[in-house]
Amino acid sequence: MPNQLFKVTSTSLHENYQVINKARGKSIVLDEPEAFGGTDIGLSPVEALLAGLGSCKAIAGRMFAAKLGIKLHELEIEVSGNLNTDGFLGDENVKIGFTDIHAVYHIKADNTEAEISHFVEFVESHCPVGDTLINPASISFDTTII
C-alpha cells in the first residue's frame, strides 16, 4: 500500500479541559482527571497515547497470529508509563513526557513458549505506534488565527 494520510481534528470544548477528537466520522473525548482540573469524562492525552500503543500491539497481534502459526485464544496488553507532572507544570529540571513505557503481554495460545516469544518480538517490530515512539516522526505546525 502507498503512503496513507491519517488525520485527527482536536477541538477544545468549553468544559474545563475536554477535547473532542474526530477522524473518519468517529469521535472520542479526551479530558483530564478531576485532580488535574478536568471533568474526568475521558482518558487523559497521556493515557490515550498508552491506549494507542497497546491497541496497536493488540491489532498487530490479531493480524499476524495466524500467519505466524499462533493459535491465539486471548491477547491482553497492559501498557504503563512513568511521567513526572512537574515537568509539564514548568520545572525545567524534569522531563515533560514519559521517561519510560512498559508493556506486559497476557497471551493464551496453543503454542510453545519459544513460539509465543517469537510472536511477541514480531508484534513489537511491526507496531507503527511503537515504531513512531522509538523512532520519532518529525513534527511541524502551522497557525491559523480565526
Say which residue, 37 or 13, is predicted with more confidence: 37
Three-class SS state of 33: coil
Specify whether 24 is located in the same domain as 59: no
* pLDDT digits 0-9 by tens, 56-69: 999 999 999 999 99
Specify whether 119 is located in the same domain as 146: yes
* pLDDT digits 0-9 by tens, 50-98: 999 999 999 999 999 999 999 999 999 999 999 999 998 999 999 999 9
Cell of 129: 505506534
Total domains in the chain come to 2
Phi/psi region, residue 10 (left: phi>0; alpha: psi -120 to 50; beta: rest), is: beta
Cell of 138: 518529525
What pLDDT sits at residue 20?
96
Specify whether 77 is located in the same domain as 95: yes
DSSP secondary structure letter of residue 105:
E
Contact 55, 26 (CB under 8 A): no
What pLDDT sits at residue 14?
79
Specify whether 35 is located in the same domain as 71: no
Residue 12 has pLDDT above 90, yes or no: yes
Cell of 2: 502507498
Specify whether 34 is located in the same domain as 49: no
Specify whether 25 is located in the same domain as 56: no
Three-class SS state of 108: strand
Specify whether 27 is located in the same domain as 84: no
Say which residue, 14 or 92, is predicted with more confidence: 92
Torsion sign, CA atoms 55, 56, 57, 62: positive
Specify whether 94 is located in the same domain as 23: no
Instruction: Determine the structural domain holding residue 28 and report its residue range.
Output: 1-42
Q: Please indicate, yes or no, whether the overall pTM of this predicted structure exceeds 0.95.
A: no
Specify whether 48 is located in the same domain as 38: no
Specify whether 30 is located in the same domain as 95: no
Specify whether 25 is located in the same domain as 84: no
CATH number, domain at 95?
3.30.300.20
Specify whether 90 is located in the same domain as 145: yes
The pLDDT confidence band at residue 13, using thresholds 50, 70 and 90, is: confident
Three-class SS state of 109: strand
